[in-house]
A and B are shown apart, each in its own frame.
Chain A
Amino acid sequence: MFSRSALLVPNHGQQQVRGMATLKAIAMRLKSVKNIQKITQSMKMVSAAKYARAERELKVARPYGAGTSAFYDKAEVKGEEEKPNQLIVACSSDRGLCGAIHSSICKHIKAGLAQDASKTAVICIGDKSRAQLARVFSQNIIAQVGEVGRKPATFEDAARIATFILNSGYDFGQGKIIYNKFKTVVSYDTLELPFFTPSAISAAEKINVYDSLDADVIQSYMEYSLTSLLFFTLKEGACSEQSSRMTAMDSASKNAGEMIEKLTLTYNRTRQAVITGELIEIISGAAAV
């Protein structure tokens, strides 16, 4: 594109000569790229602020999530073998422009569903994952949670989602939450976190070690631990998303900056060429007199 404008044909600037971008076109493009750079820079600032807050909240939520999954590990709870149905919860959000956050979750789910998609149901938290999965697995998606990502998640939100999952009517033997675990500002991992039904917990290997349990306690425990796992994954997802958006907007601003430099050089060259052309005309016109 830039090499084409090097083909200089002197004209008055009004006619579009094939192979050369007019001065006005370059100026318009330059202005729009400058605006885009301003927007991406401000988005980066906003994400940086939101990331700082999300990281602070994540520090608190991490022991919360670790404490919940510690029990499942120590009691060696496994999914119910008699019920092959599986419930997958995709923990993403509604907003884009954050790099590969949503697509990495969807890739993970697609890989899991590649062999057998009949016994799995998917609940999508956030519009982006639903949009990507609906193209291929629309019959597996049984529910979707909206309005995620605008404000930081609270425990009440997680509780509402947990109630929704448990009342969805899907009879699953085991479930897992796919989420992005925050590692550093520039990297995150897409991991899964399992959750179980009360009967799976009662049938666990080491459950007899635990004293004085009855069905009520197990039911309440399972509901609360599902909520805390969801809370934990929502916080991790939010932190990964904000840091990813920060880096994405940062590279976008840098790319826009490079484009502005190149365009400015082209603009100056084109401007000089037009002036030179006009000078030549004037001189040749004067010489003819």
Chain B
Amino acid sequence: MFARTAHTLARQVARAGTRAYSDAPMAFTFASQSQVFYKEANVRQVDVPSFSGSFGILPSHVPSLAVLKPGVLTVFEEAGTSKKYFVSSGIVTINQDSSVQVLAEEAAAVEELDLASARDILSKAQSAASTAATEEAKAEALITVEVAEELVKAAESG
């Protein structure tokens, strides 16, 4: 487990956003169940929060699969601008031909997050977790707490 963490730490790219190891195009698709944000777009870099660590994806990244963790996903576009999105869960696929698909269950631009409602959700989830009766309910409540904490963090920074 520690070997994997070290491995992913070594993979983390600095957030300078101006380096490009490869000029090959990355066909980046980012969609949630209700909205398509990018469809086979050519972007410079994508930082994804995943259970195996947050890592940045540049074109010609080694093929991989990852499961999204609740957190902020950052897209560095061709023009140099960066956009942040909050994702709740989902999967990331990086294929051999440099195409990247991020499928999130729910995603929203960080600017659209409302800090007050996020804090409200967090406090409700924490009280649900402490009063949960069954193991399953407690696990679900803890998941809500985790998502809500990340939501608050994202709303504060956005």
Contacts and interface: CB of A to CB of B under 8 A. Distances in A.
A and B physically associate: yes
Interface string A64-79: 1011101100100000
A229 to B, nearest CB: 11
Contact of A221 (B91, B94, B95): B91
Given A74-B97, A209-B96, A221-B91, A64 B64 contact: no
A57 B63 CA distance: 30
B90 A224 contact: yes
A160 interface: no
B52 A212 contact: yes
Interface in B49-67: 51-52, 62-67
Given A68-B103, A70-B95, A74-B96, A60 B64 contact: no
Contact of B4 (A64, A68, A212, A221): A212
Contact of A71 (B7, B33, B34, B65): B65
A217 B93 CA distance: 11
Q: Which of the four size classes fits the interface of chain B?
A: 20 to 34
Contacts of B126: none
B42 interface: no
Contacts of A220: 51, 67, 91
Contact of B65 (A60, A155, A210): A210
A221 B95 CA distance: 14
Contacts of A212: 4, 7-8, 52, 64
Given A209-B96, A210-B64, A212-B7, A231 B33 contact: yes
A213 interface: yes
Given A60-B34, A74-B97, A210 B91 contact: no
B139 interface: no
Interface size range of chain A in the complex: 20 to 34
B123 interface: no
A49 B77 CA distance: 37
A228 interface: yes
Nearest to A213: B65
Nearest to A224: B91
A210 B99 CA distance: 13
Contacts of A57: 34
Contacts of A213: 64-65
Interface in A88-102: none
B131 interface: no
B29 A67 contact: yes
Contact of A70 (B51, B67, B90, B101): B101
A154 B32 CA distance: 12
B155 to A, nearest CB: 23
Nearest to A231: B33
Contact of A211 (B63, B97, B101): B63
A218 B65 contact: yes
A63 B31 contact: yes
A61 interface: yes
Sorted from nearest, which 8 A-B pairs have the closest CB atoms? Answer: A67-B101, A155-B33, A220-B67, A211-B64, A211-B62, A210-B63, A71-B93, A74-B95
Interface of B: 4, 7-8, 29, 31, 33-36, 39, 51-52, 62-67, 89-91, 93-97, 99, 101, 103, 105
Given A70-B93, A217-B66, 15 more contacts: A59-B36, A60-B34, A61-B33, A63-B39, A64-B103, A68-B103, A70-B101, A71-B65, A71-B95, A155-B33, A155-B105, A211-B64, A212-B4, A213-B64, A221-B67
17 contacts: A60-B33, A60-B34, A61-B33, A63-B36, A67-B31, A67-B93, A71-B65, A74-B95, A154-B33, A206-B96, A211-B63, A212-B8, A213-B65, A221-B91, A224-B67, A224-B89, A224-B103
